[in-house]
Structure 1
Amino acid sequence: MPPRFHCTPPEAVAETVRETVYVGDYTFRIDRPADSDRVLDHPWVRSAYAADGYVPYWPTLWPSARMLAKAVLREPWETYPQPVRVLEIGCGLGLAGVACLARGLQVTFSDVDETALTYAAANARLNGYPEGFRTRLLDFRCPPVDAKYPVVIGSDLMYEERLVNPLVRLLEAVLAPGGVCLIADPDRLPARVFRWKLQEVGYDVVSDFARAGEPGGERTKGTIYRIRWNG
């Protein structure tokens, strides 16, 4: 089937707030919709779900995005072949991609929602990175065939089991041989199926404990899946 993209209507985002996000020694500023529940209540969302099973989860700064940003900032990128090109799948507000930019990487923010890409690009510029990135609409049920990336990242992508097989096929399409993929997940049950499926088709998968949250607030436990394709 052809890809199906979405665009959350601007009127669904009544107000934007700027959040300060602390990740290790780094501080980022992230603009996001002030009320994600209000976005979900918009009539357009009901239509998008009825037509395509789509729910715009991008307006929320999820704990897994913080986990992934922490992992990205700790990764020894200087040992990778340069320049390091990164594809962020389902970028949402773009926190992890911005963390990549902070480490000097070249980033492609991708999402199925055009409005999410607008926020991710704006957040990159807000943090002082007017260059070094691009955006791309991507429906991971329809993997692109025109590019492979040595690094692929994503967070909280498997909130339903129906998304597992498409995600595995996407990695087969976009992850370069010898490349690495980092996926952060808050230990949802579909992530276990995701790991089994990856191993079935020949990926090496290593799980690392992760934890993230706001300073002084509740911290969420999860897992960073380090996935390598040696094909």
Structure 2
Amino acid sequence: MSLQPHLIRTPEQAVAQRIVHRIPIGERTFEVEAPHSMDALLDDPTVQQAFAIDEYMPYWADIWPASRFLAERLMQEDFTNPDGTPQSVLELGCGLGLAGLAALARGANVLFTDYEVTALQFVEANARRNGFERFQTMALDWRTPPADLRVPVILAADLIYERRNIAPLLALLEQVLLPGGVCWLSDLDRPPAEQFRQAIARTTWQITTSAHQWQAADGRIRSGTIYRIQFPV
């Protein structure tokens, strides 16, 4: 796999300690293997160097509430075409891939992408652990998408946590999402969300939003928004 300019590969020894999460989503429970501690990765020299270059943080190593409630919503969708074939779905910045696993469970053919190459190794193992074979992985920095990448559905869980992510994310949607295509994007309503809403309000896209919550094992409730963004035909 050839690395693009902004890809990161956390060394295997840094993720040797692992944990398997059992995550109930609707009527299904997904098993998701993850590094034992995201914070422990901060001491790895490769991670520290990536932060110095591009303010990289190993957020991929955790399962965030926004990915959990996006997965819940996707389990209500049907990702098959009218002829019964699977829809092509791209998960952007997939991390450990929970949203993409939900789409797989609902009939999709998922292309998992992330700019952390090691995350994709976890995703492949997680997909197979849950009994899925109809998927692909691709190392991708969303700031530099391939010119020939076009899909009808994009999943984006918790990607607008920094303002600097908004412009390249919207540019990718313009380039990659097919006419009539849909992007499902979830967010925890962090401060950059206001800038994101203003930006998408200036487009011709059809936007619907819905409020969602996720209750953690410790009882804390995290709230957020799911955006359904549909391009004109």
Q: Secondary structure at the match of 2:197?
A: helix
Letter of the structure 2 residue corresponding to residue 88 of structure 1? E
Q: Which runs of 4+ in 1 moved over 4 A?
A: 78-82
Q: How does 1:55-74 map to 2 (within 5 A)?
A: 55-74=57-76
After superposition, the CA RMSD in angstroms is: 1.7
Gaps of 5+ in 1: none
Q: Quick check: 1:195–1:205 contact (8 Å CA) kept in 2?
A: no
Task: Tell me the equivalent position of 1:112.
Answer: 115
Give how far 1:26 is off: 1.0
- Report the Cα distance in structure 1 between the residues aligned to 2:5 and 2:147, rounded to whole angstroms: 13
| Partner-residue secondary structure (3-state), 1:58 | helix
* Equivalent of residue 32 in structure 1, options 34, 59, 76: 34
User: 1:127 is matched with which residue: 130, 133, 136?
Assistant: 130
**Aligned residues of 1:143 and 1:170 also touching (Cα < 8 A):** yes
d(CA) in 1 for partners of 2:40, 2:191: 28
Question: What TM-score do the two structures reach when normalised by structure 1?
Answer: 0.93
Give the Cα separation in 1 of the matches to 2:99 and 2:11: 24
Of 75-84 and 203-212, the range deviating more from structure 2: 75-84
Whether the aligned pair in 1 keeps the contact of 2:6 and 2:141 (CA below 8 Å) is yes
Tell me how far apart the structure 2 counterparts of residues 141 and 147 of structure 1 sit (CA, whole Å).
Answer: 13
With normalisation by structure 2, the TM-score equals 0.93
1:216 Cα offset (Å): 6.4
**Unpaired segments ≥5 residues, structure 2:** none
Corresponding position of 1:155: 157
Q: 1:210 deviation in Å?
A: 0.9
How far residue 85 of structure 1 moved from its aligned partner, in angstroms, is 0.9
Q: Which residue of 2 aligns with 1:19?
A: 21
Residues 71-220 of structure 1: matches in 2 within 5 Å?
A: 71-77=73-79, 82-129=85-132, 131-214=133-216, 217-220=219-222
What does residue 224 of structure 2 align with?
Answer: 222
Deviations 1:120-171 (A, max 9, x none): 1110000011x21000111111122112111100111011101100000011
